[in-house]
Amino acid sequence: MNLKSLRVIIASLSLLIVCAPGWAGSSVLSKPVVVVSPDKTIRAELNSNSGTLTYRITLDGKQILAPSTIGIQSDGIELGKDVALGKPAFHSVNEHYPFFGAHSVAVNRANEATVPATSHGESYLVDIHVADDGVAVRLRLPAKSGRKIQADRSSWKLEGDPVMWLDKLDSGYESPYHTSALSQFGTGSVGMPITAKVGGAYLTLTEAAVKDYGDLGIRRGAEGSLESTLYADPNGWTTDDAVVQPWRVTIVARNLSALVNTTLVQNLNPPPDAALANADWIKPGRSAWQWLAIGDPRQDDQRQWVDWTQQLGFEYYLIDEGWSRWKDPWTSVASIAAYAKTKDVKIWVWVNSWDVKNPNARKEYFRKAVQAGIVGVKIDFPQACNRSWSNWYYDTARDAAAAHLLLDFHGANKPTGFERTWPNVLNREGVRGHEYQITRYNRRLDSDHDTILPFTRYIAGPADYTPTVFESKELQGNTWAHELAQAVIFTSPYLCFGGHPRDYLSNPARDVLTAIPAVWDETRVLPGSEPGKLVAMARRSGNRWFIAVMNGADATSLDLPLDFLGKGEWNAAELFEAKDKPDAWDRQSAKLTKTDHLKMQLSPRGGFVAYIVK
């Protein structure tokens, strides 16, 4: 950065610096370090005047996050207490990159500051990242022989008593999301992401770039603050290396469309190397899957499953748990993959994480998979994400990339954006999805869970929900329309469908289901959407639009404007619910323009899907 650019940034941020002696090589600040977003609407202030390192966030001049702590307890020292800040260095970020999700191009525009700090004689750095869609902060500690990390002291202090959408913390991230309020938070820990509505804005709290550090949970602290807990590392860890705290992220959105289109979590991760960024073997796609429909795979009908996959036009077929108990399993899988290749279908296989935990065993397993013609591996049952397992995710993604293998982490913790660094990681579970609620487990989903997920869990990254069943006994209160809408709304670059292919092929909505892509060029949240009650989205792929609606517990009516359509007349296949019959359609055809509206009555846990083309 040249001197002129630096002066412009400093002037625009209105930084007040007061010099004082006592800082080795720089000045000590007595005023906050201020960083504002490129669009000038979001402002973050880093302050240590109280003796505690805190940051606060304002939107349009109004505080939405009260002073919240940043810190790490290391070697018995609170690196966040008795802090002196030095002179910050500023720079800006402005980049675009391909994205698999709600839209096809991610935008990373932000202003950043790196601030030297000292606490109890120890020096470290504080990073602040302020973008048009939120704020992130972290500490970076230098390498120190035998350093003991004991606790994380991050917190979020929300203004007022906001409505929140959250889930109970469990290491497999399969708790249901529900609506609450800060005052009703309780004493237990919750998982992330958490979304709250504060002063008319939506805030999503989560973390990014978790590597060489434990996964974060949240509990209620003093005076209503939300405090962090390293739940999987209760005794901490010892390291000789530098410690980079994962980014503590506050996504800020004025409306639900802005919220679902954020890429802040991914932006905070490093880009892939050039070879991986341009790899032609990394392809999003849709997958058939036998496990939810029938349980363990049968060795004698796998060609039939490949044929069904081809008839659906899906790119992938996943052979789940149970294939390794076949007679001569690798030879059998190689034969299936060879047959699938003649049908233009690619094969994934399931593996237990313990079989690929050891680096040598993992590389050997990946070698066998590639030799058998496998293109992707679904890795299940990783343990609670402590520091060791956070490194396992990273190392496994790296080794899979070296072998040109795609990955889906199942039974996993929340995503933290490292799919940007490793784009071969197409999906991650970390969600209570259809697999949880199948009838043979005698478990059900809460009615509002589906309508909260797009505005909470999916803000952090894709999820392996395994959507859309049409078998009547598996609906468990949902309608066909609600189920089909899941495949549109729940973002999954590896879109693994949960139902039996025969049910899809025989369904009157087959043409719409098979047209749904795995990734999107544009996404809009439509009027009437409210977390916990209803979600309505319009999503575009090329010159095709899909409208999807999922309703919660209460019957309602909905009026959707179509002003997002381009000029001219469009052909629409409209899939309404059949009255009083959850496993049927009221299918209609229509000619639509951008001045039209779609009006509908929705039953409890109902839905709607439209497929609109020129």
Q: Kindly tell me if the per-residue pLDDT of 135 is higher than 70.
A: yes
How many CB atoms sit inside 10 A of residue 400's CB? 24
Quote the percentage of the chain above a pLDDT of 70. 95
Strands 406-409, 376-380: pairing is: parallel
Quote the percentage of the chain above a pLDDT of 90. 91
Tell me the average pLDDT across 129-141.
98
pLDDT of residue 447: 84
Model confidence over 514-538: pLDDT tens digits? 999 999 999 999 999 999 999 999 9
Q: Work out the pLDDT band at 27, boundaries 50, 70, 90.
A: low
DSSP 530: B
Picking from 452, 418, 416, the residue whose alpha carbon sits closest to that of residue 432 is 452
Report the SS3 class of residue 175. Answer: coil
User: For the chain, which residues make up each domain, given as ranges?
Assistant: 3-267
Tell me the average pLDDT across 86-114.
97
Pick from 20-24, 72-76, 300-304: least confident: 20-24
CB-based contact 334:370 (threshold 8 Å)? no
Using the structure block, give the residue that is written with the tokens 């880093």: 46
CA–CA separation, 219 vs 381, rounded Å? 25
Taking CA 571 as the corner, what is the angle to CA 567 and CA 572, rounded to the nearest 5 degrees?
A: 115
DSSP 309: H
For the chain, first and last CA: distance in Å? 48
pTM to 2 decimal places? 0.94
CB-based contact 230:214 (threshold 8 Å)? yes
Transcribe 231-295 into DSSP letters.
TT-TT-EEESS-EEPPEEEEEEESSHHHHHT--HHHHTSPPPPHHHHT-TT---EEEEESHHHHS
Model confidence over 378-427: pLDDT tens digits? 999 999 999 999 999 999 999 999 999 999 999 999 999 999 999 999 99
CB-based contact 268:209 (threshold 8 Å)? yes
Domain 3-267 class?
A: mainly beta
Transcribe 57-80 into DSSP letters.
EEETTEEEEEEEE--EEETTEEET
